[in-house]
Amino acid sequence: MSENLLKLKNISKDYYGNQVLNNINIDINKGEIHALVGENGAGKSTLMNILFGMPVIHSTGGYKGSIEIEGKEVNIATPHDAMNLGIGMVHQEFMLIPGFTITENIKINREITNPNIVSRIFGKSLETLDFKKMNADARKALDKLDMGIDEFTLVAGLPVGHMQFIEIAREIDKTGMKILVFDEPTAVLTETETQNLLKAIKKLAESGIGIIFISHRLDEVMQISDRVTVLRDGEHVATMNTKDTNTHEIAQLMIGRKISLDRKEKTNHISDETILRIRNFVVKMPGEEVKGLDLDVKKGEIIGIGGLAGQGKLGIANGIMGIYPAKGEVVFEGKPLELNNPKKSIASGLAFVSEDRKGVGLLLDSSIEFNTVFTSMQIHNDFLIKIGPIKFKDSKKIREHTKKMIKDLDIRCRSPLQNAGSLSGGNQQKVCLARALTQNPKLLLVSEPTRGIDVGAKKLVLDLLRKLNEEQGMTIVMTSSELAELRSICDRIVIICDGKVEGILPPDAPDADFGLMMSGSRANSDLRGDLNG
């Protein structure tokens, strides 16, 4: 069964000069389960997009390298080509129509039909559906997966686990299915459902289908895969036989030694005083839910919040600032903070730099100075001249302050009146920071401060945060997907997994610890215990 099925040769891809995949070589044999692991942004989805001929790849200049299926070089230009070549994908989100039966969902757009009188005149699209044959096909696919459920049941109301199986059934029902990609298939499943799914995947592999299994959960990878390939920052780090490795090694390879942002010794002292106390915190932020989190932030520290996308790290700051509905207990400087009220949060001395720079962070069509002073003006009544009961904006003071900010933060712009939307990403981020700093916050929450900005600007932003912390003693809560960044400036790093604190690590902890904690591998609970204590 070691016949070669799929070969990805020297695959490289860049988005406008930004290298996201560099010389990737992967081959998959018949009946093999090949796991693909890596952090967010390691290049897994880009690689799969290439395999499926997604338009996003071809509209951005295509890719380099070649793809071979069963020894023949193929050109996959559209998802349709991929389907014809026998490549299938089980999606993370279910693409099912709730009002249809299981059969109908499995057979959608590939219905088996019989001609009738009308169709003979008006064409094939009016032929009668052959439900008997379709049901039989669906039954066959379901049986392959050991699903006892009736094929004529409506999809609406089925448990999530079943829906996942129907997705798979749809793929394997396609004739000539050779390669099946599972993208985080267990993300929404319960423990037993997961086990059933893994069993089904094994069974599929035994029938000769090659399987690419993408997951963050390393213990699943260990349990099911034959070989595992690790990607990091678009580089192919290693391909190993699963039985020759362990979660520890995989985790270490995933995180790796990145281009290190050198870390300077801190000059200021972190007090023992807790400035922010969070207990049993729940935030309903779609895709980033926080589910009962406890955390203490010490005065004067930079605390980093890390973790994989979708685990809830972004929900924390958004919940504290009242942007998404939150529940629980938050005590700031000894006083309970009223939740779901952005005005109160800002007034009590919290400032927030949002991860959604263009949506929440800036008024793109307004000037730099407007963006800089707006929040302070509205909440702290700065930059206003009072004439009778009416408060007018103080244009002179606004201009002076903005000019100072532009100088201090080195915002590259033509004038304070330039629209924020016309600045580069890094400079936009600095305007966001300028607004937060204008509020003179006691605690600064920054989310993804370096997302979408170039390397030089990244360093400037990080240096600025450190300077604020050291010179003004400002407490900073920094949320970021980039672990290297957190490790370069934070005093402690909290890893969030499944909406809760998985553990807290010092920035110089070994790579493997971070990797294991981020993937939520419960096997290492002893480690967590140490650090929480």
Partner 1 sequence: MAELTNGKIRNSILKSIGLPTIIIAVFYAVVLVSAFMLGLPMTELISDTLRRFGMNGLLVLAMVPSIKSGTGPNFALPVGISCGLLAIVCGIEFGFEGFGLILFASVFATIVATIVGYLYGKLLNAVKGAEMTIATYTGFSIVSLMSLVWLMVPFQSKKMGWLIGSGLRETIQLDSVGADGIINEFLAFNIFGVKVPTGLLLVFFAFCILIWLFFRTKTGIAIFAGGQNPKFAEASGIDIDKNRVIANIISTILGALGIILYSQSYGYTQLYAAPLNMAFPAVAAILIGGATASKANVINVLIGVFLFQGLFTTSLPVANQLFAGTDLSETLRMVIQNGIILYALTQVKGGDR
Report if residue 342 touches partner 1, rule: CB under 8 A: yes
Sequence-ordered strand ranges (E) for 245-289: 274-283
Residue written as token pair 């720079």:
357
Q: End-to-end CA distance of the chain: give it in Å, rounded.
A: 50
Task: For residue 13, give both structure tokens.
Answer: 């891809």
Report if residue 388 touches partner 1, rule: CB under 8 A: no
- State which amino acid sits at residue 457: A
Q: How far apart are CA 507 and CA 332, in angstroms?
A: 25
Report which DSSP code applies to 463. H
Report if residue 354 touches partner 1, rule: CB under 8 A: yes
Report if residue 422 touches partner 1, rule: CB under 8 A: no
Q: How far apart are CA 216 and CA 224, in angstroms?
A: 13
Q: How far apart are CA 214 and CA 90, in angstroms?
A: 11
Query: How many residues sit close enough to partner 1 to count as binding (CB under 8 A)?
Result: 33
Report if residue 445 touches partner 1, rule: CB under 8 A: no
Task: For residue 376, give both structure tokens.
Answer: 């302070």
Least distance between partner 1 and beta carbon 361 (Å) = 7
Spatial strand order in the sheet of 350-353: 350-353, 443-447, 475-479, 302-306, 492-497, 500-505
Asked whether 309 and 276 are in contact (CB, 8 A), the reply is: no
Report if residue 118 touches partner 1, rule: CB under 8 A: no
Binding to partner 1, residues 389-408 (CB under 8 A): 390-393
- The number of angstroms, rounded, from the C-alpha of 294 to the middle of its chain's C-alpha atoms is 22
Least distance between partner 1 and beta carbon 23 (Å) = 38
> 328 exposed, middle or buried (CB, 10 Å; 0-12, 13-18, 19+)?
middle
Binding to partner 1, residues 306-325 (CB under 8 A): 321-323
Report if residue 360 touches partner 1, rule: CB under 8 A: yes
- Residue number, 170 or 435, with CB nearest to partner 1: 435
- The number of angstroms, rounded, from the C-alpha of 283 to the middle of its chain's C-alpha atoms is 17
Report which DSSP code applies to 359. I
- Residue number, 89 or 362, with CB nearest to partner 1: 362
Report if residue 361 touches partner 1, rule: CB under 8 A: yes
- Residue number, 71 or 359, with CB nearest to partner 1: 359
Least distance between partner 1 and beta carbon 344 (Å) = 8
Sequence-ordered strand ranges (E) for 168-283: 179-183, 210-214, 227-232, 235-241, 274-283
**CA separation (Å) from 509 to 193, 492, 505?**
34, 10, 6
- Residue number, 334 or 359, with CB nearest to partner 1: 359
Could you tell me which stretch among 37-45, 276-284, 342-350, 494-502 binds partner 1 (CB under 8 A)?
Answer: 342-350
Applying CB under 8 A, among 343, 396, 467, 522 the residue interacting with partner 1 is 343
Report if residue 419 touches partner 1, rule: CB under 8 A: no
- Residue number, 238 or 364, with CB nearest to partner 1: 364
Report if residue 455 touches partner 1, rule: CB under 8 A: no
Which positions ≥6 away from 106 have C-beta within 8 Å?
134, 137, 138, 141, 151, 166, 169, 170, 173
> 214 exposed, middle or buried (CB, 10 Å; 0-12, 13-18, 19+)?
buried
Report if residue 344 touches partner 1, rule: CB under 8 A: yes
Report if residue 28 touches partner 1, rule: CB under 8 A: no
Spatial strand order in the sheet of 290-298: 290-298, 274-283, 326-332, 335-336
- Residue number, 199 or 391, with CB nearest to partner 1: 391
Q: How far apart are CA 149 and CA 496, in angstroms?
A: 37
Applying CB under 8 A, among 5, 35, 377, 512 the residue interacting with partner 1 is 377
Report if residue 337 touches partner 1, rule: CB under 8 A: no
- Residue number, 176 or 359, with CB nearest to partner 1: 359
Least distance between partner 1 and beta carbon 16 (Å) = 21
Report if residue 483 touches partner 1, rule: CB under 8 A: no
Report if residue 366 touches partner 1, rule: CB under 8 A: yes
Residue of 471, 465, 412 whose CA lies nearest to 436 = 465
Could you tell me which stretch among 51-59, 200-208, 370-378, 446-454 binds partner 1 (CB under 8 A)?
Answer: 370-378
Applying CB under 8 A, among 66, 381, 415, 472 the residue interacting with partner 1 is 381
Least distance between partner 1 and beta carbon 452 (Å) = 18
Q: Residue 326, Cβ neighbours under 10 Å: how many?
A: 23
- State which amino acid sits at residue 355: E
Q: Residue 482, Cβ neighbours under 10 Å: how many?
A: 19
Report if residue 378 touches partner 1, rule: CB under 8 A: yes
- Residue number, 347 or 455, with CB nearest to partner 1: 347
Least distance between partner 1 and beta carbon 325 (Å) = 12
Least distance between partner 1 and beta carbon 462 (Å) = 23
Could you tell me which stretch among 19-27, 110-118, 357-365, 463-471 binds partner 1 (CB under 8 A)?
Answer: 357-365
- Which residues of this protein are in contact with partner 1, per CB under 8 A? 321-323, 341-347, 352, 354, 356, 359-366, 370, 374-375, 377-379, 381, 384, 390-393
